[in-house]
Amino acid sequence: ITNFPVESLAQEADMSLSDYEDFVYAGTIGIDWKKLHKEQEKLRKIVDRTQKVQIVGIDTDLTLNIGGRKAVNGSGGFNMPDGEVFTSVVEDSANGFISYTYPALYSGKEFHAVRLEFKKGKVVSATATKGEKDLNKILDIDPGARYIGELGIGNNFKIDRFVKDILLGSPIR
C-alpha cells in the first residue's frame, strides 16, 4: 500500500508537487530494503522479548504491555514507504496519557494537538485543539476504536518530516 504523489497530497503536506515526489520516492525507492530488514531484525528480537513499554515526553506518560505479542519487521513487504518494527498491544494494558504535537489528517478531517488518556486499555478522554468533535465520533464508531491497535517504532531515515499522513508518518524516525 502506498500513496502516489499527486498535487492534492502535496498540498496537504504543505509541499510543492516536485518536493513531495522527491520526499515519497526517497522513502520508497531510495532505501536498501534488504539492509534495513537486517538492521531492524535486531530491534524486532528485542521487542519480542519486551513485556512493558513506557513512553515519556512532553505531556506524555503512557505505559503499555506487549508481552507475548510477536513483533513484525516492516521492511518494504507490504506498505511503502516502510521501515518500522511493530507489534500489537495487550488490549487492557494502556494506562496514562499521550499528546501529539503533529497535526493529523483522517478521512478529510484535520486534527491538531490531540491528547488521549487511557485507563485499562481504553481511551477515556480525547481532546484536540482542532477536530475534537470529529475525533470523538471516530472513537465511538465501534467498541474497539478506543483501544490501541499497534505500537510501531519507525526506522526510515529518508522520511525526515511529518506530513499529516499516517502511512508516511509510521516509518518516521
Dump pLDDT digits (tens) for 70-122.
999 999 888 888 899 999 999 999 999 999 998 888 888 999 999 999 999 99
CB 54 within 8 A of CB 95: no
Spatial separation of the C-alpha atoms in residues 39 and 44, rounded to whole Å:
9
Q: What share of the chain is helix, strand, coil (3-state, %, to 5)?
A: 30, 30, 45
Which helix or strand (DSSP H or E) is residue 36 part of? helix 33-49
Spatial separation of the C-alpha atoms in residues 10 and 90, rounded to whole Å:
36
What is this structure's pTM? 0.86
| Mean pLDDT of all residues in 141-157 | 94
